[in-house]
Structure 1
Amino acid sequence: SERIFENEKVTVDTIPLSHRVYTNGFLFREKPKELGLNVDAVKKYGIDISHYHNIKKGKDVLLDDGSLIPNSELTFPPQKVKSYAFCSDTAYEPGIIPFVSDADVMYHDATFLENEKHLAEKTGHSTAIEAAKIAKEAQVGQLILGHFSTRYTNTDQFLEEALTEFQNTSLARDGKVFEW
């Protein structure tokens, strides 16, 4: 794994995948957010706006009268950071589990159904059940399946198979938007 992008809000790391050619997936992860400012508490103590930045960074506030106000009284916990793992074009590879562990959402290759597992192995792809096993083992929040072989006219079969292993599964479809 290698960090290929970072700014003040997000990191992007590669995920080594297993395919016929060199392929990487990507893990997008928000950076920890600032503490939330408890406006009512700040007003109660008459704290000047010039202190807000330091409060959100976790600092206590020393008032003019010498009283120390602990940061915990002035803030709310930060919002949970979100993460998204994108694992396209990959054979069943349990080695990716540490990289995608606890991701909020994971997109995973599911080119074949289980009855054609031999084709998945031959071509460096996964079955819906294999993708669901990765999601379950990695304890991701939601699994999105995609990259279905055109040999299948009914992609609902992929969902049916995956649901036997991992309940919070959806299918990627053109135009479908996922929010979390």
Structure 2
Amino acid sequence: MPYTAHKPPPVHSNEELRAAVPGWGADLDPKDRPSVPKEQFDPNFSGAHWEFPEHQPEKWPRERSIEHKVLTPVFGTITPPRGLSGAIRRYSYKKYSEGRTAHWLLLIAADRVDAWEHHLGSFLSLRPDNPITETGVRSEFTRHGLTSRTGTKRVDLKHQWIDPIMIGAPWVVMGGLAIAAARRLARLRQAQP
């Protein structure tokens, strides 16, 4: 059972593991362990400092990996999954194990969708996002952006060329779409008698 102090029974015996895995069990003999003079083995001591604690109440169905029987006793509740990004996250947890690449790719896609949901939501608020100040573009011109990149071995210099495209291009595309939509609405209004 997960998240308890009790150790599950081993699937394979020591002899089976030693025969299958080269070098397995090299530290089974206490004389080969550097910690033996200090180590005091107590077979009844599990190492856990608590028994299974009381569960935190769920206010909505939480995502849970399919390889776990139950949720952890305590979990985050600050950002409940919502919208399309929440649906993608729920699908990822419901369908794929954490060991599958598809699980993590779906979670990354959900993060990108969540970012765009918030960008679009900011346009509906009284204080929309400002990509110039919030992405650090202005500090490139006021805080020695160019000189901090010359003569150094900074790791981020390798992807520096694509950063403006990745960050700025979506805003330019959305701005272009907004201008095209505004022009089309203006033409439709002019065409009406």
Q: TM-score, normalised by structure 2?
A: 0.19
Greater share of helix: 2
Q: TM-score, normalised by structure 1?
A: 0.20
